[in-house]
Chains A and B, each alone.
Chain A
Amino acid sequence: MADKKIRVLIAKPGLDGHDRGAKVIARALRDAGMEVIYTGLRQTPEMIAEAALQEDVDVVGLSILSGAHNALVPAVIDKLHQSGMQDVKVFVGGIIPETDIPNLLALGVYAVYGPGTDTQTVAADIFQALHPSDN
């Protein structure tokens, strides 16, 4: 499939007031040649899973600044699985305490990014997560 492009959903679950970080990531992944769907602020886990299904994305990136990640991330993953999207790769970005990261990784999240992460790392990790055999 020569025409295949990586499709990524960048979503903001919960009640965060701004989405600067999400937009920076969306832009960076676009510049890495991906098709990035951005859905805006204040999405419920149901809305995110529905958008991921309709858009048939390969990757979902969740941006969470509010501290509610321990509730929101499992809820989103649960809804994704319910809608048949077991294969989709999930990463999380935002303000996540170090101590919570192992828990998120155990849920199946493949990476957690904090402030100051190089956007090229995020893009490279997506390629790696989707095509582990290439490296």
Chain B
Amino acid sequence: MPKVDPLAIRQGDRLALSRALTLVENNAPESRELQSALFPFTGTAHLIGVTGAPGTGKSTLVNQLAKHFRLAEDSKPAPKVAIIAVDPTSPFTGGALLGDRIRMGDLSGDKGIFIRSMASRGALGGLAHNTAAFVTVLDSAGFDLIIIETVGAGQAEVDIASLAHTVIVVEAPGLGDDIQAIKAGILEIADILVVNKADRPGADNTARALRVMLEMAQGKNGLRSAKGKHAFNSKQASGSSTQPAAEAWLPPMHTITATEGKGIDALVADIQRHADYLHSSNLWQQKEATRLRRDLEALIRDTLVHKWRMELDQQQFESVLSDLLQRKYSPIEALETLM
């Protein structure tokens, strides 16, 4: 694999960018140096997460969003858009079928758009381990908007909440009763809720059930529900007490038909409004701080585990394991023996 020049990436060389993503995805040794070289040039892109159950129309929506973002506004140049589309890796074969591009044919031929499919490679939170590192590379390459489409996520795959600035949760009619909406998890991470497939029967019911959920959450503890997740690092939030408490963001709900592009204009406007809100309330900075803290902690954890594995006495490990199997030890006692 040839060495990739960080400058080429920043100057918009698409082949260099693509090769860099491969190095990062494969944890290649040279990717560490590369990421360090690129990191100073990041921090400006707006990260938009799109998540929801399989078959709700996430890819079709991402296609529409990217198309709309690329329509130049007045005299401003159209923003450059990158898309990271994550699909699951088979736990049995390690292979993956990455099919999100099928819905993104409209975007072909536009040099202001870069789409990369990513297999989850065993990660369980709806993203891959290296999705955050992909964001670093794409951000440094000058993409203004980075749309991250998660694995078709059900209820607990909420990693996207700590990565993206703006999380869009996509629902569709006919996927479950209203109890599904009451369960904890994915709805709580939404900055914007979308009911797609509005042309299908039952869309009104789905929208109504979600609206009730939203109103309950907002009525009960308006500040916490809307603002809580942005400021869940409470120490940090209280530490910056010179900042006036931000006006709470109440997640809006949009009913759309992504295949026909219906309702996309208003959705795009709300995404922009959310970015403005994050900037004006200083939550953008707080989110960045939380994200970088998590990234650093994950890096430390991975490095310690790796180091421990390297130093491990494999023979001792196997013998402890065998004792464990015969119930001579408990797992906790085994841990004390080994560490």
Interface residues of A (CB under 8 A from B): 1-5, 7, 26-27, 29-40, 43-44, 46-47, 50-51, 53-56, 83-85
Given contacts A1-B1, A4-B26, contact A35 B95 (CB under 8 A): yes
Report B-chain residues with C-beta under 8 Å of the C-beta of A39.
101-102, 105
Q: List 28 A-B contacts (CB under 8 A).
A: A1-B27, A2-B27, A4-B28, A5-B26, A5-B95, A7-B22, A30-B90, A31-B93, A32-B95, A35-B117, A36-B96, A36-B97, A37-B98, A37-B99, A38-B99, A40-B102, A50-B108, A50-B109, A51-B101, A51-B108, A53-B15, A53-B18, A54-B14, A54-B18, A54-B114, A54-B115, A56-B19, A85-B15
Interface presence of B214 (CB below 8 A): no
Q: Which of B90, B108, B117 contacts A47, CB < 8 Å?
A: B108
Q: Which of B14, B18, B19, B93 contacts A33, CB < 8 Å?
A: B93
Chain B: minimal CB distance from A97 (Å) = 29
Chain A: minimal CB distance from B139 (Å) = 17
| Nearest A residue (CB) for B21 | A56
Given contacts A4-B26, A54-B18, contact A37 B109 (CB under 8 A): no
Main secondary structure of the interface of A (DSSP, over half): mixed
Report B-chain residues with C-beta under 8 Å of the C-beta of A84.
15
Interface residues of B (CB under 8 A from A): 1, 14-15, 18-19, 21-22, 25-28, 89-90, 93-99, 101-102, 105, 108-109, 114-117, 119, 121
Q: Which 6 A-B pairs have CB atoms at the shortest separation, nearest pair first?
A: A30-B95, A40-B102, A56-B18, A47-B108, A84-B15, A3-B26
Report A-chain residues with C-beta under 8 Å of the C-beta of B95.
5, 29-36
Report B-chain residues with C-beta under 8 Å of the C-beta of A5.
26, 94-95, 119, 121
Per the bound structure, the CA–CA distance linking A86 and B82 in Å amounts to 24
Given contacts A30-B90, A47-B105, contact A3 B27 (CB under 8 A): yes
Chain A: minimal CB distance from B160 (Å) = 21
Report A-chain residues with C-beta under 8 Å of the C-beta of B117.
35, 37, 55
Q: A30-B96, A51-B108 are in contact. List 8 more A-B contacts (CB 8 A).
A: A3-B26, A3-B121, A36-B97, A37-B101, A39-B105, A40-B102, A51-B115, A54-B115
The answer to whether A33 and B94 have CB atoms under 8 Å apart is yes
| Nearest B residue (CB) for A23 | B97
Report A-chain residues with C-beta under 8 Å of the C-beta of B27.
1-3
The answer to whether A83 and B90 have CB atoms under 8 Å apart is no
The answer to whether A1 and B119 have CB atoms under 8 Å apart is no
The answer to whether B15 and A38 have CB atoms under 8 Å apart is no
Report B-chain residues with C-beta under 8 Å of the C-beta of A37.
98-99, 101, 117
Chain B: minimal CB distance from A57 (Å) = 9
Report B-chain residues with C-beta under 8 Å of the C-beta of A4.
26, 28
